[in-house]
Amino acid sequence: MRHDPSVAGPTDPRDDAELLRAHVAGDPAAFETLVRRHADRLWAVALRTLGDREEAADAVQDALLSAYRKADRFRGESAVTTWLHRIVVNSCLDRARRRQARPTVPLPEQGAGEPVAGGEDRDTTLTVRAALAELPPDQRAALVLVDVYGYPVADAAQILDVAPGTIKSRCARGRARLAARLGHLRNQEPSPDVTSGTARPRKEAP
């Protein structure tokens, strides 16, 4: 589910900005239409950023209700979808930072109704998710947006409200950290705290 911005859903010809304006003007169904249009993308980012279904559900709900209430403050300086993502990702980061302060562990994402990959794919996915969950929240959010879901660096920078260079750095450092944790670096054993039964053979030096 790579990033593919859309301006209008199949059931409502209005674009995102028009829907938001309609909501502010009192259209009772406009915000719900907007939410339904972007629900899957927002959910995917929240789920991969938090790694926990219930936390992601709470973060998304908190964020979108907040967006509902403060829609009149949207100034159109970014796309509506970027604004929604920013609110959702910030809600996720707040939760991730709070959780980081507690002695806890990555929780399972899997919940009812979610597709389950099988066999080796499932193990690989679990391994990557687990390693991702151990990154600092800021690095994780950047990686989820850019490298997992393909958002342009500029969009991720707007969503996270940092410079594009910061996004690039967070992604590069995050991938370096993942490489170490997943055992992908040559001449390096997998990190003892996150290792994989499915780690690929390390490449030989050319």
Partner 1 sequence: MSDTARPDDASTGVDVDLVADYQAGVLAGTPEEARVAELIATRPEWSDAAQALADADRVVLEDLAGLGAEPAPMPADVLSGLVEAIRAERSAPSSAAAGGAVVGFDAARRRRVRRARWVLGAAAAVVVVALLGLVGTSVLHDDSAKQASSARSGAAPTSTAPHPDLGPNNQPRPGLAGPTLGASGTDYTPATVVRVVRASGGSSLGAAARGQVPAQLDRLTRPDQLDGCLRAIAAGHPGTPRTVDYARFRGAPAMVVWLVQNGSSGMIVAVGPECGPDDPHLVYETVVLGAHETTPK
Residues 54-93 interacting with partner 1 (rule: CB under 8 A): 54, 57-58, 60-61, 64-65, 68-69
For the CB of residue 75, give the shortest distance to partner 1 in the complex, in Å.
21
Tokens 């829609």 locate to 71
Using the rule CB under 8 A, which residue among 89, 93, 96, 143 binds partner 1? 143
Q: Does 5 bind partner 1 (CB under 8 A)?
A: no
Q: Least distance from C-beta 78 to partner 1, angstroms?
A: 22
Interface with partner 1 (CB under 8 A), residue from 78, 134, 152, 162: 134
Q: Among all chains, which residue has been given the structure tokens 């994989």?
A: 196
Minimum distance from residue 13 beta carbon to partner 1 (Å): 21
Contacts of 172 (CB under 8 A, 6+ apart): none
Shortest distance in whole angstroms from residue 155 CB to partner 1? 15
Structure tokens at 4: 């593919």
Q: Looking at residues 29 to 58 of the shown chain, list those that interact with partner 1 (rule: CB under 8 A).
A: 31-32, 35-36, 39-40, 42-44, 47-48, 53-54, 57-58
The footprint of partner 1 on this chain (CB under 8 A) covers a number of residues equal to: 89
Query: How many CA within 13 A on the CB side of residue 86?
Result: 18
Q: For residue 63, count other CB atoms closer than 10 A to its CB.
A: 22
Place of tokens 């996150």: 194
User: Which amino acid type is present at position 104?
Assistant: T
**Contact indicator for 64, 84 with CB cutoff of 8 Å:** yes
CA 90 – CA 97 distance, rounded (Å): 10
Single out the residue of 17, 74, 79, 173 in contact with partner 1 (rule: CB under 8 A): 173
- Read off the amino acid at residue 172: A
C-beta closer to partner 1: residue 43 or 74: 43
**Does residue 112 touch partner 1 according to CB under 8 A?**
yes
Residues in 181-200 that interact with partner 1 by CB under 8 A: 181-182, 184-190, 193-198, 200
Which residue pairs from 171-174 have beta carbons closer than 8 angstroms and sit at least 24 positions apart in sequence?
171/139, 171/142, 171/143, 171/146, 171/147, 173/139, 174/135, 174/139, 174/140, 174/142, 174/143
Interface pick for partner 1 out of 50, 71, 149, 156 (rule CB under 8 A): 149
26 versus 77: smaller Cβ distance to partner 1: 26
